[in-house]
A and B are shown apart, each in its own frame.
Chain A
Amino acid sequence: MHDTSAHAVQHHAPTSFIRKHVFSLDHKVIGKQYYALALAAALIGMVLSWIMRIHLGWANAAIPGLHALSPNGAPGGVLTPEYYLQLMTMHGTIMVFFVLTTAPFAAFGNYFLPIQVGAEDMPFPRFNMMSFWVTFTAFLVLVASFFLGDGPTLGGWTQYAPLNAIGSASGPGQGLGVVLWMISIALFCIGQLLGSLNFISTTLDLRVKGMSLMRLPLSAWAWFITSCMGLTAFSVLMPACILVILDHVAGTSFFVASGLVLNDQVIPHSGGSTLLWQHLFWFFGHPEVYIAIVPGIGIVSHILLANMRKPMLSQRVLIYCMGALAVLSYMVYGHHMFVSGMNPVSALAFSFPTLVITIPATITVLIWVFSLYGSRLRINSASLFALGFISMFVSGGVSGFFLAQPSIDIMLHATYFVVGHFHMVMGVAAMFGIFAGTYFWFPKMSGRMMNETLGKVHFWLSFVGTYCIFMPFHYLGLVGNIRRYSTFVDDFLQPLIPVHRLITVAALITGAAQLVFVYNLIHSRFRGKPASDNPWEATSLEWSTATPPPWDNFGGKHPVVYHDPYQYGVQSSVGDYVMQASPEQVKTDHEEK
């Protein structure tokens, strides 16, 4: 029998509480820690969005508790414009980094990738543990900036220069607040690089006997492709953050141009290139949004297959599409810079691949839709959120076609049209992917089923709610509502305030619906119906082990893989499916070797 002990897990079963639950080397515990971090971050990010939305609808509203957090930023609980921007910046930063990158990739990936390839753990458990705690430290550093005297940075999650490179002259939170942001994100990059290291090594080197690359589940492919993207993207953001820190604390001038006078202060830096920051940031930033969504594509495909009970039209093409998205994502980043003053010819050079990248995205959606056609999809919370993902991805994605064209983007850049686009295609879609993954894998992780009724309530409220929130954003953008404004003083924006109020009401209700999910999560963890090892009758390796899996995943026995991961709709001794690790041979139309 093939002995993998040479690269078997380098740790033994933990005994102490600290080793079991805190500084754990077990990828499953690390995955759950990432999930808990993402959950806490999501709740903070959501509360920030509530505060922003209330202020946008009712500019003079006093928000309880805010005066205590920042007497300068919210005197009497009413947000100043600067404080609005500070909260907006933190909302974006927390959500993009600590929720959308952490939950679908680091949380579910850490938990399930080793199991799905048949390994006992990641090959470098100490680096894995380090990656979580570095990420957690990054989160603490970021949240610490809330408690600075003048608050966190106000320059947007994109932290453009020169606003964010010249120091406190540009506003509250722009001194130490920016430095803390940069340190936090640099730490985050290091954490993600350590994680990517493990993911790539696991996928390439720890696959169990019989598990060829084409027999990997689509979620495993998605995590692998995402980790390759992360490797390339985060290693560019980190040096950029270091250069900004130097501009702040060391008097260098990488990003600050000459001759700036701000608030009657002559800015001492000179000679820097402000556009350089945008190039460095968006070279990371665009792959980052695909890092946020590709795991969701894999997870949703995985869940739909288990619930459709029939194979996809083509698994291989889905894998190629995910790969194409990853490769193309590096060629399109300039579409964030169409109006930055760069050469219009380069705008064309970025617009073309941006339109091309819609092709693999569209093929992915078409494969899903045409695979679903004619299937009898089992309806449960997981499959509902998977369908919701497709809906959000399409609705949010189509507005991208417009933004991809510079001539239209000139009008729509920095309006609510963009905000609606990215919230739907990235924010909501990825959240739905996280929810789908939670409902699907919760039984395996905890040994208990989540409450289906509450799950469906959560789904319908979220689905309708997020459409009510973000569809009007497109209308607002088309009529000229500028983004990143705290109040709408201009004449042409006044008539839009009632729309903002409706959106705010929708946001508060949808936010409350998320508390249903949190309640379900916690209640089911302790009181949920006990789950069997394979409640969904699914085929991939995670369902062939105990629930929850033992510390070495397979109880000392390495599985052997005989089938591809999606043998559904066949006739076998157990039903209409064959598990990957089952030696039983069945008649099948097509099987990956």
Chain B
Amino acid sequence: MATTVHEPRHLDPRRAPDHGNGGGENSADGDRRLALDYSPPPSSTAIWVVLFAISMMFAAFTSALVVRKGSSMDWRTFKLPSILFFNTLVLFASSVSLEVSRRRIALFMGKVQEQVESPTRWLYVTLCLGVLFVAGQYVAWSQLRGEGLYLATNPSSSFFYVLTVTHALHVLGGLGGLIYVIRKLGKSSLRRSTLEAAARYWHFMDLLWLYLLLLLWVKL
């Protein structure tokens, strides 16, 4: 795992941690033990750590939902607001646009494409779709309120709000990450690892939303 020497993906040698000078000479004990020439960038490990923590949090909410549903006869199911399905498509589209922008950024950073507008444009599309998603979630909450379903009305609505609001807050955090990436790209100082971390986080929000939608659809 971390002691494996990774073959870095082909990219501009100036981007490599050793600036294209090749791996360091071996060091230990004279028995040619593989030393760490290229460690994974910390942001790569870090984003997995973050995603794991978020997963555990939603796992806790899930188990709370399952137990609470089974503990009493007061669970009332309700129909999910139809806008949720539109929001799902919006979020999925934002993942697609993020992948498009990543390809463009790779070309730009490899000096194949000089201007920064095209990758930035696609990042802005992702950002807008993300904001549209959160706005759509707000519409969903308004629709529920219009039907008289508030946070404390019923345990099912409680979990609906808790899960969707928590997810939306994490999406907002992801938007902050995207803004950071856009700023760094504008200064041409965006690290590949930063972009990958932001992208992984964003795609995870997408997958998490699909899971939550399924959970709410089955249980609520």
Instruction: Please report A residues at the B interface, Cβ cutoff 8 Å.
Output: 1-7, 123-124, 193, 196-197, 200-202, 204-213, 231-232, 234-236, 238-240, 242-243, 246, 250-254, 257-258, 270-273, 275-276, 279-280, 283, 560-563, 585, 591, 593
Contacts of B64 in A (CB 8 A): 239-240, 243, 254, 276, 280
Contacts of A123 in B (CB 8 A): 42-43, 46
| Distance, CA A585 to CA B162, complexed state (A) | 60
* Distance of B157 from chain A, by nearest CB (Å): 9
Which single residue of chain A is at the shortest CB-CB distance from B59? A236
B115 proximal to A (CB < 8 A): no
Contacts of A591 in B (CB 8 A): 29
| Distance, CA A585 to CA B158, complexed state (A) | 66
Contacts of A254 in B (CB 8 A): 64, 68, 155, 158
B41 proximal to A (CB < 8 A): yes
* Distance of A119 from chain B, by nearest CB (Å): 10
- Which listed residue, B67, B68, B151, touches A251 by the CB 8 Å rule? B151
Contact A210 B45 (CB under 8 A): no
* Distance of A224 from chain B, by nearest CB (Å): 11
* Distance of A562 from chain B, by nearest CB (Å): 5
| Distance, CA A272 to CA B152, complexed state (A) | 12
Contact B162 A209 (CB under 8 A): no
Contact B41 A205 (CB under 8 A): yes
Contacts of B46 in A (CB 8 A): 123-124, 197, 200-201
Contact A200 B49 (CB under 8 A): yes
- Which listed residue, B35, B52, B162, touches A243 by the CB 8 Å rule? B162
Contacts of A3 in B (CB 8 A): 17-19, 21
Q: Decide yes or no: A205 and B60 within 8 Å by CB, A2-B18, A250-B152 being known contacts.
A: no
| Distance, CA A320 to CA B119, complexed state (A) | 47
Within 8 A of A (CB), among B22-67: 23-24, 27-31, 33, 35-37, 39-46, 49-50, 52-54, 56-57, 59-61, 63-64, 67
Which single residue of chain B is at the shortest CB-CB distance from A269? B152
Contacts of B24 in A (CB 8 A): 1-2, 209
| 5 closest Cβ pairs, A-B complex | A123-B42, A6-B17, A2-B24, A251-B152, A271-B72
Contacts of A272 in B (CB 8 A): 68, 71-72, 155
**CB pairs A–B below 8 angstroms (18 shown):** A1-B24, A6-B16, A7-B42, A123-B43, A196-B53, A201-B49, A204-B1, A206-B42, A209-B36, A235-B54, A235-B56, A235-B57, A253-B152, A254-B158, A270-B72, A273-B72, A276-B64, A561-B28
- Which listed residue, B27, B35, B49, touches A196 by the CB 8 Å rule? B49
| Distance, CA A213 to CA B166, complexed state (A) | 37
Which single residue of chain A is at the shortest CB-CB distance from B70? A273
Contacts of B30 in A (CB 8 A): 585
Contacts of A207 in B (CB 8 A): 2, 36, 39
* Distance of A122 from chain B, by nearest CB (Å): 9
- Which listed residue, A246, A258, A279, A562, touches B72 by the CB 8 Å rule? A258
* Distance of B165 from chain A, by nearest CB (Å): 10
Contacts of A231 in B (CB 8 A): 49, 52-53, 56
B188 proximal to A (CB < 8 A): no
* Distance of B110 from chain A, by nearest CB (Å): 17
Contact B158 A210 (CB under 8 A): no
| Distance, CA A257 to CA B45, complexed state (A) | 42
Contacts of A208 in B (CB 8 A): 36
Contact B151 A236 (CB under 8 A): no
Contact B45 A201 (CB under 8 A): yes
Contacts of B63 in A (CB 8 A): 279-280
Contacts of B152 in A (CB 8 A): 250-253
Contacts of B45 in A (CB 8 A): 200-201, 204-205
B77 proximal to A (CB < 8 A): no
* Distance of A206 from chain B, by nearest CB (Å): 7
- Which listed residue, B17, B61, B155, B191, touches A271 by the CB 8 Å rule? B155
Contact A276 B2 (CB under 8 A): no
Which single residue of chain B is at the shortest CB-CB distance from A283? B60
| Distance, CA A563 to CA B44, complexed state (A) | 28
Contacts of B21 in A (CB 8 A): 3
B74 proximal to A (CB < 8 A): yes
* Distance of B172 from chain A, by nearest CB (Å): 16
Most chain B beta-carbon contacts within 10 A, residue among A201, A232, A560: A201
B113 proximal to A (CB < 8 A): no
B142 proximal to A (CB < 8 A): no
Contacts of A270 in B (CB 8 A): 72, 74
Contact A4 B17 (CB under 8 A): yes
Contacts of B53 in A (CB 8 A): 193, 196, 231, 234-235
* Distance of B160 from chain A, by nearest CB (Å): 12
Q: Decide yes or no: A246 and B151 within 8 Å by CB, A1-B24, A2-B24 being known contacts.
A: yes
Which single residue of chain A is at the shortest CB-CB distance from B54? A235
Contact A236 B60 (CB under 8 A): yes
Contact A562 B68 (CB under 8 A): no
Encoded as 1 (CB less than 8 Å from any A CB) or 0, chain B from 56 to 99 comes to 11011101100110011111000000000000000000000000
| Distance, CA A561 to CA B29, complexed state (A) | 9
Contact A280 B39 (CB under 8 A): no
| Distance, CA A286 to CA B36, complexed state (A) | 36
Which single residue of chain A is at the shortest CB-CB distance from B52? A231
**Apart from A205-B40, A562-B27, 6 more pairs, CB < 8 Å:** A204-B39, A205-B2, A207-B39, A243-B162, A273-B71, A275-B67
* Distance of B4 from chain A, by nearest CB (Å): 11
Contact B42 A276 (CB under 8 A): no
Contact B41 A560 (CB under 8 A): no
| Distance, CA A151 to CA B30, complexed state (A) | 66
* Distance of B64 from chain A, by nearest CB (Å): 6
| Distance, CA A246 to CA B23, complexed state (A) | 54
